[in-house]
Amino acid sequence: MALATFGAGCFWGVEYFFRQVNGVISATSGYMGGDETLIRYEEVKSGTTGHAEVVQVEYDESVVSYNDLLAVFWSNHNPTTLNQQGEDIGHQYRSVVFFHSEYQKELAQQSKAELIECGKWGNRIVVTEILVAQEFFAAEDFHQNYIEKNGLPSCHISF
């Protein structure tokens, strides 16, 4: 099993999309990339901790590749809006790939370059950060599998 961590706005929708992928063992909403070591949702939401809302994905590499996960990441958010996805605004909603190995780092950088090269976003700048994974803090139980538990439609960002 391997880990991958992605931030693409509100973690509810990001988690939902990764849960649909064959080979994903678990997708856990949480926080990464900040300065504090004991955090809660309200603190992260305030934008004062430096954390991003992320989803940590545990996956079976014999079933799904890291490149497949990157494709899900890129296709389910707008990587050209700095610190914003839809109506969620702030550094905590930034587009970010947290890599767990040099291999993941290389693939993330390559996929970002390919996304830019394909021209899908025109002359808009892809602002997605690619950073080394830090300590992961699982979000409160209330946030896990939120969309399905509450019978909500996905909060997919339309482009």
Domain-by-domain residue ranges, the chain? Answer: 2-149
Is 2-149 in CATH node 3.30.1060.10? yes
Q: What's the rounded Cα separation, in Å, for the pair 105 and 97? A: 9
Provide the whole-model pTM. Answer: 0.92
CA dist., res. 50 & res. 92, Å (int): 7
Residue of 4, 8, 10, 32 marked active site: 10
Strand extents, DSSP E, the chain: 2-8, 24-32, 52-59, 84-85, 88-89, 95-99, 129-132, 137-138
Which pLDDT tens digit goes with each residue over 68-92? 999 999 999 999 999 999 888 999 9
Q: Which residue has the higher pLDDT, 149 or 21?
A: 21
Is 10 one of the annotated active-site residues of the chain?
Answer: yes
Q: What is the DSSP letter of 81?
A: S
Average pLDDT, the chain: 90
Residue-level pLDDT at 33: 94
